Amino acid sequence: MKRTLLVAVAALIVGAGGVFTATQVDAWGSTGHRFVGVAAMRALPGELPAFLRDPGAAAEVGELSREPDRSKGAGQPHDRERDTAHFVDLDDNGHVMNSRGPTLSELPELKSQYDAQLLAAGIEVNDAGYLPYAIMDAYQQLARDFATWRVLNAAEARETDAGKRAWYREDRLRREALIRRDIGFLSHYIGDGSQPHHMSIHYNGWGDYPNPEGFTNSRQTHGAFEGAFIRRNMRLDAVEAAMPAPNLEGFQMRARVATYLNATLAEVVPFYRLEKTGAFAADAQGAVLTPGAEFATARLAAGAAELRDLITLAWREAGAQSIGWPAVKVAEVEAGTADPWTAMIGED
């Protein structure tokens, strides 16, 4: 029943020429985040397992892509710790907050070290945000999910003991649900990283900074763009058509995240120049996209492509990992040269 309902949601997303027709809540966390998740899942290559490549999975990830926003309001410390995962405020030269903050290529290995570095520079941690770490953490979790699934899937196919095979199957199904959920969280943070306001000190109007081009200081700028404008103008087919080709070579996680987020930072001034022309006040007409709609489509397409690629890269990385305790190598289990039973069920 659940899968049938999700397929119905997917039909709403792709119906009417790709226009999303379901009721929305104003925020990138609804329409925009759904589109990033669905477009990425629909573009996964054939090397990914079948449970991720059907309309129900795409729709489910689209819904789960909203989850980090939907969990807000739980209280402290939950909210303060998690709310700052959605952004990182960079100045015009790419430093966190100001010239005393690090650039994305200079981030220390651990978030705790990042926090200490900011405090030493007189920068409030909660003002700065930690989106790069949220993306890296979510990617690494997904790779571990995939490593576990690959072991369970291989063991289930080969196991001759009926009881063990049944346990492998149930654990594999649990892992599949976790994988969809964890892709949803990765999708959310990747989506946040494609929205220029989530990358800049100019996150809601230009703010109290030198403003030679006379950009808006309206405190409605951020919400109006990622909410009502996105909801009215975005089409899934346009987002999918704008997705760049896969980029899977030479992957290094930290460098990849810095490159992706810096590319979004480079779109802050173009956004404000478009806003100054009224580009985000006009709506697209049918299949003809306005300059504002083209800009937003390109941003969502960048997020969807990055998510597609990181899912694929996590799948590949999982094949070289070891998992469980005592640890077994994924490749050896898939080759049939290692028995993962104790590692999976636990030796206690």
Residues 18 and 237: beta-carbon distance below 8 Å: yes
Position 347 confidence tier, pLDDT thresholds 50, 70, 90: confident
168-178 average pLDDT score: 98
Per residue in 12-41, pLDDT tens?
Answer: 554 434 444 333 333 344 899 999 999 999
Question: Parallel, antiparallel, or unpaired: how do β-strands 322-323 and 328-329 relate?
Answer: antiparallel
Q: For residue range 218-235, list pLDDT tens digits in order.
A: 999 999 999 999 999 999
Which pLDDT belongs to residue 22?
Answer: 33
* Summary mean pLDDT of the chain: 91
Instruction: Please tell me the distance from the alpha carbon of residue 275 to that of residue 290, in angstroms, as a whole number.
Output: 12
What is the rounded average pLDDT of the residues 155-177? 98
Helix (H) or strand (E) segment spanning residue 323: strand 322-323
For residue 287, name the pLDDT band (cuts at 50, 70, 90). low
The pLDDT value recorded for residue 3 is 52
Length of the chain: 348
What is the predicted pLDDT for the residue at 90? 98
pLDDT at position 83 over 50: yes
Nearest one of 142, 170, 188, 167 to 48, comparing CA atoms? 142
Span 294-298, average pLDDT? 97
Q: Which residues pair with 90 in a beta bridge?
A: 96, 200
Report the distance separating Cα 40 and Cα 311, nearest Å: 9
299-334 burial: b if 16+ Cβ within 10 Å, else e = bbbbbbbbbbbbbbbbbebbeebbbbeeebbbbebb
Angle at which helices 291-318 and 268-276 cross, to 10°: 160
Q: Are the C-beta atoms of 157 and 145 separated by less than 8 Å? A: no
113, HSE (Cβ side, Cα atoms, 13 Å): 7
Cα separation, 313 vs 253, in Å, equals 10
pLDDT of residue 286: 66
What CA–CA distance (Å, rounded) separates 111 from 108?
A: 7
* pLDDT at res. 288: 74
Outline where 160-252 has alpha helix (H): 162-192, 221-224, 230-233, 236-242
User: What is the pLDDT averaged over residues 268-275?
Assistant: 98
pTM: 0.92
Task: Single out the residue of 310, 258, 255 nearest to residue 36, CA to CA.
Answer: 310
Coil, strand or helix at 96:
strand
The answer to whether the CB of 44 falls within 8 A of the CB of 316 is no
Q: Residue 23 and residue 185: Cα distance in Å, rounded? A: 22
Mean pLDDT of 155-172: 98
Query: How far apart are the C-alpha atoms of 62 and 200, rounded to whole Å?
Result: 26
Q: Is the pLDDT of residue 82 over 70?
A: yes
